[in-house]
C-alpha cells in the first residue's frame, strides 16, 4: 500500500526527531452537559514532538476531548497540566496565546478572505500593533506586517500553496481548503497542534498529501500533534501513540500495535467480524 | 438634460447619506449577526446628545455659544457617549443573549430602540431642536455658472464627509490587524476564537464604530431635518438600501444607497406626475420589494446555499 510505504519512509527519514518530556497531562477529566456525560474520568498525556491520535466510534467524545484541551469546554472534574502548569479558568481565545492551534472537522476558514489573509490571521497573537498605532503611525505597523508576511510565506511554501495565495478561500476545492486551514494553524508557530479529522472527506491522493504534510510538520518543526481521525490505516501509520475512547470512557492507550491487539478495543471499535 | 443631471446628482448625494445610515447596520450585522433595529434610535440619540451639549457647554465652561470650541468639545463628548452607549448595549443587552435565535436578538433591539429614544429625551428634553453645522444650504455658484446645474453646497459637503468616512473605514478594515480580526469575526466566530481573536473585544470595537457612524449620520441628518423624534424613522430608509445592497456588504451599502437615492428622486420627477406625486417616500420600498423577488440576497450579499 502506497500510503503505508510513504508514511514509514517519512518516519524513517525523521530519525532525528526525539520524543521528549510530557507537554500536556490530562488527569481524570470528566465533562458533563446537563445530565449527559460526554467524558468520564479520562487520563492521558501527550509528549513533546509526538503524534498522538485520539480514535473512537462516533459520539465517543473525541471532539469534546479536543475542545477540553483547547479550553472551549471546561471539565467539571479533573486537572489539565500544560507546560508544567495547571490550567486555571480560561477563555476560548486564550488557547492561541498559550501556543495551541487547531483545525476543525468542518473547515472553519474565513471564506470571504484570501488565502493569504486567512493565514495572516494565524499570526494575530504574535502581532502587537493596535488600532491606534495603525491610525497614528502607519510605518511601524507596516513594518510589523511585513515581518509577519515573511513567516507566512514560509508556511505557504512549505505546504505548496503558492499558486493560490490570492484566491478567496471559498472558491477552493475541499482538499485545498483543509490545507489552508492547516497553514493558518501553522502560522501561529504552535507548540501543540490539534487536528480534528484532517482527512475527513478527502480522496486517496489528498489523504496522501495531508499525511505527508502532517509528518513533515512534526519532523521539521518538531510540532507536537494531537489528531482525531477515522481512517484507521492512516492513524496506525502516522501516530506514535493512540488513545481509544468509547462512550466517553478510555478503553485503550498505547502504541498502534498495542492498541490493535487490545481485545476491548477490537470489540468496541473495530468490531468482532466486519 | 441639465434638469435630469440635476435630479440625478441631487439623488446620488442624498443616497450617500442613506448609505451612511445603512453602514451602521452592516457593521453590526457582519460582526455579530444581529440586525440592530436600534441603529436609527442611536442616530437620534447621537444628534440630540450633541445638540444638548452645545446648549449646556457655554454655561459650564464659559465658552462662547456657537464657537468652534463648543462644537468640538460637544462632538468629543457626544462621541464618547455613543461609544459608551454602544459598548454598554453589547454588554448588557446582547451578550446575555448569545446563541439565542436571531428573532430573539431582533426583538431585543426593537426594545432597545424605545429605550434609547426615551433615554435621549429624558436627558435632553423632548422638544425639537435645530442643529447647525455652519454649512449653508445654497447652490454651489461655480457649478451653477459653468454647467447650469444647481447643486446644494450642504449636500456636497455632507456627501464628502461620508465618503471620507467610508474610505477611512475601508482602509482600516483592509490593511490593519484589527481590521483583519474584524473581518475574521464577521466570517466565522469559531475560527476567529481558535486563532486567538477575542470576540468580546471585537464586538466592543464594532459597537463603538457603529456609534461613531451614528453620530456622523445624526449630525448631518439633524442639521438637514432638525433634531427630533422623527430622525429615528429617517433611518428606516436604510432598510431598502440594505435589501438592495445586501446585509453583509459595505460596498453594497454604498451602492445600494446611491441607487435608492437616485431612483427615488428620478421617480418622483418622471413617474410622480402620472400617479399624483409624492411617491418619493414609498418608491424605495417598492423597489426593494421587487428586488427581493429577483435577488433576495442583495447585489453583494452572501448567497445562501442550503444543503438538504
CATH number at residue A199: 3.40.50.300
Query: Does the residue A221 lie in any domain?
Result: yes
Extents of the domains making up chain B:
2-239
Provide the 3-class DSSP secondary structure of residue B139: strand
pLDDT at A140: 66
Name the residue of chain B whose CA is nearest to A96's CA.
Answer: B196
Among candidate residues A122, A156, A189, the one where a domain is terminated: A189
Q: Are residues A126 and A206 in the same domain?
A: no
- Give the domain range for residue A158: 110-189
The band of B17, judged by pLDDT with boundaries at 50, 70 and 90, is confident
Q: Are residues A89 and A13 in the same domain?
A: yes
Residue B119 CB: number of other CB atoms within 10 A? 16
| B180, B199, B205: residue with CB nearest A120 | B180
Average pLDDT over every residue of A199-223: 89
A130-134, A138-142, B164-168, B249-253: which range is least confident on average? A130-134
Name the residue of chain A whose CA is nearest to B176's CA.
Answer: A134
Give me the number of domains chain A comprises: 2
Question: Measured between alpha carbons, how far is B39 from A136 in angstroms, rounded to an integer?
Answer: 29
Q: Which 8-state DSSP code applies to residue A53?
A: E
pLDDT at B69: 81
Chain A residues within 8 A of B197 when measuring between CB atoms = 93, 121, 124
pLDDT at B304: 58
The band of B298, judged by pLDDT with boundaries at 50, 70 and 90, is confident
Strands (E), chain B: none
pLDDT at B284: 87
- Cβ within 8 Å, pair A110-B199: no
Helices (H), A14-86: 62-69
- Cβ within 8 Å, pair A117-B193: no
| pTM, full prediction | 0.76
Q: Which string of DSSP letters, residue by residue, matches B196-260?
A: T--HHHHHHHHHHHHHHHHHHHHHHHHHHH-BSTTHHHHGGGHHHHHHHH-TT-HHHHHHHHHHH
The Cα angle at residue B263 between residues B136 and B257, in degrees rounded to 5: 70
Q: Are residues A49 and A185 in the same domain?
A: no
Say whether pLDDT at A120 is over 90. no
Q: Are residues A94 and A195 in the same domain?
A: yes
Say whether pLDDT at A48 is over 70. yes
Residue A40 CB: number of other CB atoms within 10 A? 17
Identify the residue with better confidence: B250 or A49. Answer: A49
Q: Are residues A115 and A33 in the same domain?
A: no
Name the residue of chain B whose CA is nearest to A109's CA.
Answer: B191
Write the pLDDT tens digit of every residue in B24-41. Answer: 888 888 777 788 888 888
- Cβ within 8 Å, pair B198-A130: no
Q: Are residues A63 and A199 in the same domain?
A: yes
Average pLDDT over every residue of B295-308: 65
CA distances to A84, B39, B77, B104, B105 from B99, in Å: 35, 21, 34, 10, 9
Q: Which residues of A touch chain B, with CB atoms under 8 Å apart?
A: 70, 72, 91-97, 101-102, 104, 108-113, 117, 120-122, 124-125, 127, 129-131, 134-135, 141, 145, 184-185, 188
Q: Are residues A236 and A180 in the same domain?
A: no
Q: Which 8-state DSSP code applies to residue A166?
A: T
Q: Are residues A90 and A215 in the same domain?
A: yes
The band of A10, judged by pLDDT with boundaries at 50, 70 and 90, is very low
B76-79 LR contacts (CB < 8 Å, sep 24+) = B77/B49, B77/B53, B78/B46, B78/B49, B78/B50, B78/B53, B78/B215, B79/B211, B79/B212, B79/B215
- Residue A197: closest CA among A60, A10, A14, A93: A60
Q: Are residues A130 and A258 in the same domain?
A: no
Write the pLDDT tens digit of every residue in B177-228. Answer: 888 888 888 777 788 888 888 888 888 888 888 889 999 988 888 888 788 8
For chain A, the helix, strand and coil percentages under 3-state DSSP, each to the nearest 5: 45, 25, 30
Residue B232 grid cell: 429615528
pLDDT at A270: 60
Q: Are residues A83 and A156 in the same domain?
A: no
Q: Are residues A49 and A164 in the same domain?
A: no
Name the residue of chain A whose CA is nearest to B198's CA.
Answer: A93
Say whether pLDDT at B306 is over 60. no
Query: Does the residue A104 lie in any domain?
Result: no
- Cβ within 8 Å, pair A121-B194: no
Residue B209 grid cell: 464604530
Q: Please report, for chain A, how many H helices and E strands are present, in that order.
A: 11, 10
The band of B292, judged by pLDDT with boundaries at 50, 70 and 90, is confident
Among candidate residues A148, A173, A189, the one where a domain is terminated: A189
The band of A272, judged by pLDDT with boundaries at 50, 70 and 90, is low
Q: Are residues A195 and A224 in the same domain?
A: yes
Say whether pLDDT at B81 is over 90. yes
B22-31, B94-103, B107-116: which range is least confident on average? B94-103
Among candidate residues A161, A189, A217, the one where a domain is terminated: A189
Chain A residues within 8 A of B176 when measuring between CB atoms = 129, 131, 134, 141
Query: Does the residue A105 lie in any domain?
Result: no
| A111, A117, A125: residue with CB nearest B180 | A117
Taking the Cβ of residue B141 and every Cβ of chain A, the question of whether any pair is shorter than 8 Å is answered with: no
Amino acid at each position: 500500500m502506497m500510503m503505508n510505504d510513504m508514511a514509514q519512509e517519512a518516519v524513517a527519514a525523521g530519525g532525528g526527531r526525539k520524543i521528549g518530556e510530557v507537554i500536556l497531562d490530562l488527569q481524570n477529566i470528566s465533562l458533563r452537559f446537563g445530565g449527559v456525560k460526554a467524558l468520564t474520568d479520562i487520563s492521558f498525556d501527550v509528549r513533546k514532538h509526538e503524534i498522538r491520535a485520539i480514535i473512537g466510534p462516533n459520539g465517543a467524545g473525541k471532539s469534546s476531548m479536543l475542545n477540553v484541551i483547547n479550553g472551549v469546554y471546561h471539565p467539571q472534574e479533573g486537572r489539565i497540566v500544560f507546560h508544567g502548569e495547571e490550567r486555571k479558568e480560561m477563555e476560548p481565545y486564550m488557547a492561541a496565546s498559550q501556543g495551541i492551534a487547531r483545525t476543525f472537522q468542518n473547515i472553519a476558514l474565513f471564506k470571504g478572505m484570501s488565502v493569504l489573509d486567512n493565514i495572516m490571521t494565524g499570526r494575530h497573537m504574535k502581532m502587537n500593533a493596535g488600532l491606534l498605532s495603525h491610525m497614528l503611525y502607519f510605518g511601524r505597523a507596516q513594518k510589523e506586517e511585513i515581518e509577519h508576511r515573511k513567516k507566512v510565506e514560509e508556511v505557504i511554501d512549505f505546504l505548496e500553496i503558492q499558486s493560490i495565495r490570492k484566491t478567496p478561500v471559498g472558491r477552493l476545492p475541499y482538499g485545498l481548503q483543509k490545507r489552508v486551514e492547516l497553514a493558518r494553524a501553522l502560522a501561529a508557530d504552535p507548540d501543540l497542534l490539534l487536528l480534528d479529522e484532517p482527512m475527513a472527506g478527502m480522496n486517496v491522493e489528498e489523504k496522501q498529501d495531508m499525511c505527508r504534510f502532517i509528518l513533515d510538520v512534526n519532523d521539521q518543526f518538531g510540532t507536537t500533534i494531537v489528531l482525531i481521525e477515522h481512517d484507521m490505516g492512516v492513524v496506525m501509520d502516522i501516530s506514535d501513540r493512540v488513545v481509544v475512547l468509547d462512550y466517553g470512557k478510555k478503553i485503550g492507550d498505547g502504541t498502534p500495535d498495542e492498541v490493535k491487539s487490545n481485545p476491548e478495543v477490537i470489540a468496541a471499535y473495530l468490531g468482532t467480524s466486519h | 438634460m441639465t434638469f435630469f443631471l440635476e435630479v440625478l446628482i441631487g439623488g446620488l448625494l442624498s443616497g450617500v447619506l442613506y448609505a451612511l445610515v445603512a453602514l451602521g447596520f452592516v457593521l453590526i450585522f457582519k460582526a455579530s449577526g444581529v440586525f440592530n433595529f436600534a441603529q436609527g434610535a442611536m442616530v437620534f440619540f447621537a444628534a440630540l446628545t450633541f445638540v444638548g451639549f452645545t446648549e449646556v457647554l457655554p454655561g459650564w465652561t464659559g465658552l462662547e455659544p456657537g464657537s468652534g470650541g463648543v462644537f468640538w468639545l460637544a462632538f468629543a463628548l457626544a462621541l464618547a457617549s455613543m461609544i459608551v452607549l454602544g459598548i454598554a448595549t453589547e454588554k448588557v443587552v446582547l451578550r446575555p443573549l448569545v446563541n439565542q435565535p436571531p428573532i430573539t436578538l431582533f426583538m431585543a433591539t426593537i426594545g432597545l430602540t424605545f429605550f434609547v429614544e426615551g433615554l435621549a429625551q429624558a436627558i435632553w428634553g423632548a422638544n425639537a431642536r435645530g442643529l447647525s453645522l455652519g454649512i449653508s444650504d445654497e447652490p454651489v455658484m461655480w457649478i451653477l455658472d459653468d454647467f447650469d446645474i444647481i447643486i446644494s453646497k450642504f449636500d456636497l459637503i455632507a456627501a464628502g464627509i461620508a465618503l471620507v468616512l467610508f474610505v477611512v473605514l475601508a482602509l482600516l478594515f483592509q490593511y490593519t490587524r484589527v481590521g483583519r480580526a474584524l473581518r475574521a469575526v464577521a466570517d466565522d466566530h469559531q475560527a476567529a476564537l481558535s486563532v486567538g481573536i477575542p470576540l468580546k473585544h471585537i464586538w466592543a470595537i464594532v459597537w463603538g464604530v457603529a456609534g461613531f457612524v451614528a453620530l456622523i449620520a445624526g449630525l448631518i441628518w439633524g442639521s438637514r431635518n432638525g433634531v427630533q423624534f422623527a430622525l429615528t424613522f429617517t433611518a428606516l430608509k436604510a432598510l431598502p438600501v440594505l435589501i438592495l445592497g445586501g446585509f453583509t456588504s459595505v460596498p453594497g451599502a454604498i451602492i445600494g444607497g446611491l441607487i435608492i437615492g437616485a431612483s427615488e428622486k428620478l421617480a418622483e420627477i418622471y413617474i410622480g406626475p402620472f400617479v399624483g406625486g409624492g411617491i418619493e417616500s414609498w418608491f424605495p420600498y417598492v423597489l426593494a420589494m421587487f428586488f427581493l423577488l429577483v435577488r433576495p440576497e442583495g447585489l453583494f450579499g452572501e448567497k445562501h446555499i442550503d444543503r438538504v
